[in-house]
């Protein structure tokens, strides 16, 4: 029906144009005096004030309409939108490990890898920072390292040495150096693939390389690049349903953990946002990256959506895994380190060990002493605790006074 209306309208316009006689210009058109312009009416000085009053009135009416919606309705709406977004994202429940196994043509290669008096083994481990485990498993060797980036370099170098068959110090150095060069290209390729999967606009090459580095980073055995792509998809679905900027939300979701691939000091959200600003990313994207762990107050819908999507991706079943005994041991170590400090009355470890709050006696510890305690505890944690990310130390000096009137 709609197409018939379009064709009728088009035919009517064409017929009117074709049937209309071509106008002939007059030979000597008479000169007409220019019409006088009507005098312009002066602008009412009260117009800006009236417009401002109308805007305020509309805002008040909208606020009153929102206040009439109960909190229960908002919670039901939020739960429904989150459930719909989760159902539209399909991911694999895969946890990465800290070991890589390589097949050997024969057990004779184990002796070549070790070398005379362990010379080749020590050189390879010193160049790559990876431990080589040679056990009783036939025709196999294992590379062990908690850093997936270093372990991948060692894997590429070992595969090249196995293909070559010559385990000599010079060959080992060449293989490791070549593997490091190849890794740079792999970082760019993995970053470009992530951007292409999400159909984003052009991303700066340095950001692409930093994204590729996330493919070799894990958080509680969850691959950070896969987690970032999952967060980007969730942000896009939620933004589309709630009227947000889909492009900004998707871009911020992909870049929200980019600071985990950097070596700059500070929280990864802050360092990642600083890199994005330096490379010309949108201000809304940078703010969402910086605020997704509430290091700064959230001022946009997209920033809130990134935080929500990040929590969904991390909390889904099978996404992350940590040994319970190691987790409890880390919590206990953090508390013990805080309680050993002077002036401390109590401490609280919150956010799964990402933050520790220390309470001190106000009568014995002044502001300067509190700053010293925070710095000392941060140094102790950095030395004694193996942690998955930054730990924020907050020292509080609560002061309370009261008076009674008889």
The ranges of the chain annotated as CATH 3.30.1370.10 are 99-144+148-186
Q: Tokens 């002796």 sit at which residue?
A: 111
CATH architecture assigned to 99-144+148-186: 2-Layer Sandwich (3.30)
Which pLDDT does position 317 carry in this prediction? 59
User: In the structure, what pLDDT confidence band is assigned to residue 288 with cuts at 50, 70 and 90?
Assistant: very high
Residue 1 pLDDT > 50, yes or no? Answer: no
Which pLDDT does position 79 carry in this prediction? 76
Lowest mean pLDDT among 84-98, 122-136, 200-214, 328-342: 84-98
Summary count for the chain: helices (H), strands (E): 15, 8
Contact 306, 326 (CB under 8 A): no
Residue 286 pLDDT > 90, yes or no? Answer: yes
Residue 159 pLDDT > 50, yes or no? Answer: yes
d(CA 228, CA 116): 46
User: In the structure, what pLDDT confidence band is assigned to residue 95 with cuts at 50, 70 and 90?
Assistant: very low
The ranges of the chain annotated as CATH 1.10.3210.10 are 216-315
d(CA 213, CA 224): 9
Pair of tokens at residue 88:
């539209």
Contact 338, 332 (CB under 8 A): no
Which pLDDT does position 152 carry in this prediction? 86
Which pLDDT does position 39 carry in this prediction? 57
Contact 299, 287 (CB under 8 A): yes
CATH number of 216-315: 1.10.3210.10
The ranges of the chain annotated as CATH 3.30.300.20 are 324-396
User: Residues 162-218: pLDDT tens digits?
Assistant: 888 888 888 888 888 898 888 888 888 888 998 998 888 888 989 998 898 888 887
User: In the structure, what pLDDT confidence band is assigned to residue 13 with cuts at 50, 70 and 90?
Assistant: very low
User: Residues 349-383: pLDDT tens digits?
Assistant: 887 788 899 999 888 888 888 899 999 999 888 88
The half-sphere exposure of 273 on its side-chain side, counting CA atoms within 13 A, is: 19
User: In the structure, what pLDDT confidence band is assigned to residue 4 with cuts at 50, 70 and 90?
Assistant: very low
User: In the structure, what pLDDT confidence band is assigned to residue 255 with cuts at 50, 70 and 90?
Assistant: very high
> At the topology level of CATH, where does 324-396 sit?
GMP Synthetase; Chain A, domain 3 (3.30.300)
Contact 180, 190 (CB under 8 A): no
Which pLDDT does position 74 carry in this prediction? 65
CA 32 to mean position of chain CA atoms: 70
Which pLDDT does position 232 carry in this prediction? 92
d(CA 85, CA 235): 8
């Amino acid at each position: 029906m709609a197409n018939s209306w379009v064709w009728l309208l088009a035919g009517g316009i064409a017929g009117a144009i074709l049937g209309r006689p071509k106008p002939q210009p007059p030979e000597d058109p008479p000169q007409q005096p220019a019409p006088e312009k009507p005098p312009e009416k002066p602008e009412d000085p009260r117009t800006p004030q009236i417009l401002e009053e109308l805007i305020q009135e509309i805002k008040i009416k909208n606020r009153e309409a929102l206040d009439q919606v109960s909190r229960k309705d908002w919670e039901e709406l939020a739960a429904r939108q989150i459930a719909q977004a989760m159902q539209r994202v399909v991911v694999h429940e895969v946890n990465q490990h800290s070991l890589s196994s390589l097949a050997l043509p024969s057990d004779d290669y184990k002796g070549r890898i070790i070398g005379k008096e362990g010379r080749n083994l020590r050189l390879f481990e010193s160049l790559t920072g990876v431990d080589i485990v040679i056990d009783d498993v036939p025709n196999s060797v294992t590379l062990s390292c908690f850093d997936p980036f270093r372990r991948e370099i060692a894997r590429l170098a070992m595969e090249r040495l196995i293909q070559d068959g010559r385990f000599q110090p010079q060959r080992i150095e060449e293989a490791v150096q070549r593997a490091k060069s190849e890794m740079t290209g792999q970082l760019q390729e993995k970053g470009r693939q992530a951007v292409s999967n999400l159909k984003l606009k052009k991303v700066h090459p340095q950001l692409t390389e930093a994204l590729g580095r996330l493919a070799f980073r894990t958080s509680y055995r969850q691959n950070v690049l896969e987690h970032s792509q999952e967060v980007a998809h969730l942000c896009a679905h939620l933004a589309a349903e709630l009227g947000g900027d889909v492009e900004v939300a998707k871009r911020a979701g992909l870049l929200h953990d980019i600071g985990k691939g950097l070596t700059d000091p500070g929280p990864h959200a802050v360092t990642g946002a600083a890199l994005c600003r330096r490379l010309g990313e949108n201000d809304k994207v940078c703010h969402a990256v910086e605020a997704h762990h509430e290091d700064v107050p959230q001022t946009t819908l997209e920033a809130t959506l990134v935080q929500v999507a990040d929590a969904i991706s991390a909390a889904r079943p099978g996404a992350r895994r940590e040994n319970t005994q190691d987790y409890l041991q880390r919590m206990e170590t953090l508390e013990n380190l805080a309680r050993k400090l002077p002036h401390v009355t109590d401490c609280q470890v919150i956010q799964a060990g990402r933050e520790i709050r220390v309470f001190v006696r106000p009568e014995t510890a002044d502001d300067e002493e509190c700053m010293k305690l925070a710095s000392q505890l941060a140094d102790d944690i950095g030395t004694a605790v193996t942690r998955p990310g930054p730990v924020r130390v907050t020292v509080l000096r609560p002061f309370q006074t009261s008076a009674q009137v008889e």
